[in-house]
Amino acid sequence: MANKKNKKKASQRNAQPSAPAKAQAAAEPKKGVSRKAAKDAESASKSVARAKADMKASKEKAKAKKKKDKKPGFFGRIRNYFRAVRTEMRRVTWPSKKELVNYSLVVIASLVVVGVVIAVLDFVIGEGLFLISGLRS
């Protein structure tokens, strides 16, 4: 039984103090401690403070992300849609006046050509059916 108590005390003595204990120990300079050791202890306490600040910042970012990930309401979605339309319209490369006239003439010419081809095919197929069936009087 006594052996177990001795082991427990020895393990407690060998265990290193936790981070807050280190920071507190670093804040109180000990007698006979060199300046280098004091600076090392001070930098350790600063790193602990930085770690706490980083954790707090990451928690705030997570909260902001959760809030941002929420689905917007009806009017919010409409607003987002019109914003997206506006940004896409700004990205469009608009043709110049000369290009617009040329493209319009090409479209009109192709419509006339396709219309004539369809009219000719309609006439040829219609006449062929009348000749085969002999329905004319």
Q: What is the pTM of this model?
A: 0.38
The predicted pLDDT at position 1 comes to 54
Q: How far apart are alpha carbons 24 and 112 in whole angstroms?
A: 90
Burial grade of 19 (CB within 10 A; 0-12, 13-18, 19 or more): middle
**Percent of the chain residues topping a pLDDT of 70:** 72
Q: What average pLDDT does the structure give for the chain?
A: 80
3-state SS assignment for residue 92: coil
The residues spanned by each domain of the chain are 1-70
Which of 58-62, 65-69, 110-114, 119-123 comes out lowest in average pLDDT?
65-69
